[in-house]
Structure 1
Amino acid sequence: MTKHKHPEILSRSVVAQSRLFAIESLELRFSNGEERTYERMKPSNRGSVMTVPVTEEGDLLLIREYAAGTERYELGFPKGLIDPGETPEQAANRELKEEIGMGADTFVPLKQVVLAPSYFSSHMTLFLATGLYPERLQGDEPEELEVIRWPLQQAEELLTHMDFCEARSISALMLALRALNNHPLNAQ
């Protein structure tokens, strides 16, 4: 595999901005002399987390939440941004408490993923959470989220559910199933 030298950034500027997002334009020169303009979401330098919570009874806990991008309710796993000063595990536990009213004793890191790396720089750490216990924190959602219990034994069926189509949730589920292969829950 050939190793490419990173392109030189000739300039960068914000070309559009909203309350939540800034679009940045990058003028790049590649090692072969070619120059191009790329646009991307300006990096926020804040990571995010998504957690696959599994109960002692062997159920996955999902949330049904309105997604403005698709203009419909989507089924997925609890997720959110890492607050300043938080570790990814702390953020994952806080998000669980805010979104499903449960904390967890154990977090198993599954993988760090990126979404559309040509346009976004944010990283999301995926976790498997076990040892759940009841604890609720006030979240920032505009309405209470519906918590859905899904039997782990029927996880494959979740992949075909019409409301479960967010790529990070699908990745998290597949990685969690692989991690659970030798987990005590599967011995039942």
Structure 2
Amino acid sequence: MEKFKKIKTEAAYRAHVFDVYNDYLELPDGRNVVYDLIKHHPGACILPVKDDGSIILIKQYRNSIDDITYEVPAGFIDEGESPEDAARRELREETGFTAKVVEYVTRTVLAIGTSDEQTYVYIGMGLTGGTCALDENEFIETEEIGLDDALNMIRDGRIVDSKTIIAIYAYWGKKCS
């Protein structure tokens, strides 16, 4: 299989968190098409795991789905920051915890058909408490949940965030192996 040939890219819309581009491509059969692409800043997330095996999730309102969601701590990777450092920072800011051990799980592209948004997924263990340092527009609550309960919450639709589902299943797989 060969990659499509990019003829040109034009900015269509610039927003606060992402930009939309039109990519003009040539297909392998010679036809030309236009794809919309959302360029999004990369992020990192971390699943905090307590010594007893329970996990810490955050609850927050998400305007995109007009609902309160359960999620792992996550956020953008700052300029010059490594994905792991961003995950550690988000853990500290959103939960007050720090992790002695941070394990890389994977990199995921959240909406591969329309966006380049990448998230680096980590698991954090050996947690110690501290003080939250939320951004001014963050209104977050934390909740400690058992792994079996979290798996049930995925199955019954109470956890719908893809990066959170990936992190929980990765931790479950680690425990089962």
Normalized against structure 1, the TM-score is what?
A: 0.86
Say if 2:95 and 2:132, in contact at 8 Å, map to a contact too: no
Query: How many pairs were matched up?
Result: 177
Query: Match of 2:10, as an amino acid?
Result: S
* Alpha-carbon distance in 2 for matches of 1:14, 1:114: 21
Q: Structure 1: which 5+ residue stretches go unaligned? A: 183-188
Name the counterpart of 2:149.
Answer: 154
Query: Match of 2:111, as an amino acid?
Result: A
* Alpha-carbon distance in 1 for matches of 2:157, 2:29: 46
Are residue 96 (structure 1) and residue 91 (structure 2) matched? yes
Q: 1:140 to 1:161 in 2, by over 3 A?
A: farther
Name the counterpart of 1:114.
Answer: 109
**Could you tell me how far 1:63 is from its partner in structure 2?**
0.5
**Could you tell me how far 1:20 is from its partner in structure 2?**
2.6
Deviates more, 1:137-146 or 1:125-134: 137-146
* Alpha-carbon distance in 2 for matches of 1:12, 1:143: 34
Map 1:42-121; keep pairs closer than 5 Å.
42=39, 44=40, 46-121=41-116
Pick aligned residue for 1:169 from 146, 150, 164? 164
* Alpha-carbon distance in 2 for matches of 1:130, 1:141: 27
Q: Structure 2: which 5+ residue stretches go unaligned? A: none
Q: Rg: which structure is higher?
A: 1
Query: Match of 1:140, as an amino acid?
Result: D
* Alpha-carbon distance in 2 for matches of 1:106, 1:158: 26
Pick aligned residue for 1:39 from 30, 36, 47? 36
* Alpha-carbon distance in 2 for matches of 1:129, 1:66: 24
Name the counterpart of 1:185.
Answer: none
Say if 2:111 and 2:117, in contact at 8 Å, map to a contact too: no
* Alpha-carbon distance in 1 for matches of 2:67, 2:60: 8
**Could you tell me how far 1:137 is from its partner in structure 2?**
4.9
- State, as a whole percentage, how many aligned pairs show the same letter: 23
* Alpha-carbon distance in 2 for matches of 1:15, 1:143: 29
